[in-house]
Amino acid sequence: MQKLTILGATGSIGVSTLDVVARHPDRFQVYALSGYSRVAELAEQCKKFKPSFAVTADQKSVDQLQQLLRVDSPETKILCGVEGLCQIAIAPEVDMVMAAIVGAAGLLPTLEAARAGKKVLLANKEALVMAGSLFMKAVRESGATLLPIDSEHNAVFQCLPSDYSSDNRCGAQKIVLTASGGPFRASPLEALHSITPEQACAHPNWSMGRKISVDSATMMNKGLELIEACWLFDLSPDQIEVVIHPQSVIHSMVQYVDGSVLAQLGNPDMRTPIAHAMAWPERINSGVANLDIISIARLDFEAPDLERFPCLALAVEAARMGGSAPTVLNAANEVAVDAFLKGDISFLQISEIVAQVLGDTSIVELDTLENVQSSDKLARQSAVSIIQRSH
């Protein structure tokens, strides 16, 4: 029986993870769940999965949750804040931590889980983008097992031999990350000015949280994923190619020196990479329907248009710069996406703000958590002041 903590249980990845858990009560037991704003949803999850701990945002939501669980799940202990998240990430009882908080808010508990040597299932790509060197060092030093949940990285992981490492590439030459191109891949460029948050969040193939949906529409998501792949597979940005593949059936590929290309295919449903990582190295039923390649019939590929998707170019630039550049890129993007979702800036301003913050900020080496946090903070302040000045 594997005991599991889910950081971000009420989100899209969290809900899919609980769906997989519910299919395998003999294998997985929920130790702790966290949720931020959706207290009623978190309460329902606690009633069903009976975790030992639940973690929520603040004292007010602790009181609300306590009230909701008074009758059906009084044994669940309720904590709050970052301290609570770190506590459920490192508890000795826990075998596996699903890191599914969105954005920089997930960094500390995810890093703590890595430091504690847990099996870390990483969905929270922003944590790795902003603090890659610290994160990978923590994994190496503690002997933690880091398994990618992001569908592309999970696909690459599946296409690499188990003895792949930086000292033994096993003939792997290049990684090809596929991208759907999001909802605006074929829209006229003039139409991009007036895009609304609802349009940006309506992804053609995947159902996801709002932040990653906007990132997919700008293709910043693929840029963050390129940086994520550099850390996970110890590659330079030049060893990674991004290809638009509108059907989202091939989740990514590995090119080998002998001309072979291995790909992982499947329906676009996150329960496949989640179940893969949860049971690894075994395989379990995920609830995802079998892929019907006859009805899919064709797979298309094209090169990404960097004029349409400047965020992708900015992320590649940040990856090449290294140091704190990805931290700055990520922080500016989080602030800009949040402002776009609130209606404060236009869709096209997202890339403009990220470009300006990246250009204005001096890039430093990142060797401590304090460095990461101060780079993140400065970039956020810079993005906020650009947004305020634009009004």
Q: Which residues bind Mg ion (CB under 5 A)?
A: 150-152
Terminal alpha carbon distance of the chain: 55
Q: Which residue do the tokens 């870390």 mark?
A: 120
Taking the complex as a whole, how short is the minimal distance between the CB of residue 153 and ligand NAD, in angstroms?
Answer: 9
Taking the complex as a whole, how short is the minimal distance between the CB of residue 163 and ligand NAD, in angstroms?
Answer: 26
Taking the complex as a whole, how short is the minimal distance between the CB of residue 225 and Mg ion, in angstroms?
Answer: 5
Q: Which does 246 bind (CB under 5 to 8 A by kind): ligand NAD, Mg ion, none?
A: none
Neighbours of 256 (CB within 10 A): 16
- Taking the least distance from each CB to Mg ion, the nearer of 29 and 151 is 151
3-class DSSP state for residue 32? strand
Half-sphere exposure of 38 (CA within 13 A, CB side): 15
3-class DSSP state for residue 170? coil
Which residue spans within the chain are E strands per DSSP?
2-7, 28-34, 53-56, 77-80, 96-99, 119-122, 145-148, 172-179, 240-244, 250-256, 261-265
Which positions ≥6 away from 167 have C-beta within 8 Å? none
Taking the complex as a whole, how short is the minimal distance between the CB of residue 152 and Mg ion, in angstroms?
Answer: 5
- Taking the least distance from each CB to ligand NAD, the nearer of 100 and 217 is 100
Q: Which does 314 bind (CB under 5 to 8 A by kind): ligand NAD, Mg ion, none?
A: none
Q: Which residue do the tokens 């991208």 mark?
A: 179
- Taking the least distance from each CB to Mg ion, the nearer of 150 and 269 is 150
- Taking the least distance from each CB to ligand NAD, the nearer of 38 and 169 is 38
Farthest-apart Cα atoms in the chain, separation: 63
Taking the complex as a whole, how short is the minimal distance between the CB of residue 82 and ligand NAD, in angstroms?
Answer: 8
- Taking the least distance from each CB to ligand NAD, the nearer of 240 and 294 is 240
**β-pairing verdict for 172-179 and 250-256:** antiparallel
Give CA torsion, residues 86, 87, 90, 92, to 10 deg. 180
Q: Which residue is nearest to ligand NAD (CB)?
A: 11
Taking the complex as a whole, how short is the minimal distance between the CB of residue 193 and ligand NAD, in angstroms?
Answer: 26
- Taking the least distance from each CB to ligand NAD, the nearer of 1 and 113 is 113
Half-sphere exposure of 103 (CA within 13 A, CB side): 21
- Taking the least distance from each CB to Mg ion, the nearer of 206 and 256 is 206
Tokens of 261: 């290309």
As to burial, measured by CB atoms within 10 angstroms (0-12 exposed, 13-18 middle, 19+ buried), residue 68 is middle
Neighbours of 188 (CB within 10 A): 7
- Taking the least distance from each CB to ligand NAD, the nearer of 123 and 160 is 123
Q: Which does 35 bind (CB under 5 to 8 A by kind): Mg ion, ligand NAD, none?
A: ligand NAD
Q: Which does 43 bind (CB under 5 to 8 A by kind): Mg ion, ligand NAD, none?
A: none
For residue 285, which phi and psi values (nearest 5 degrees)?
-65, 135
3-class DSSP state for residue 328? helix
- Taking the least distance from each CB to ligand NAD, the nearer of 177 and 212 is 212
Q: Which does 376 bind (CB under 5 to 8 A by kind): Mg ion, ligand NAD, none?
A: none
Taking the complex as a whole, how short is the minimal distance between the CB of residue 89 and ligand NAD, in angstroms?
Answer: 12
Which residues of this chain interact with ligand NAD, rule CB under 6 A?
Answer: 8-14, 35-37, 100-102, 105, 123-126, 150, 206, 208-209, 211-212, 270
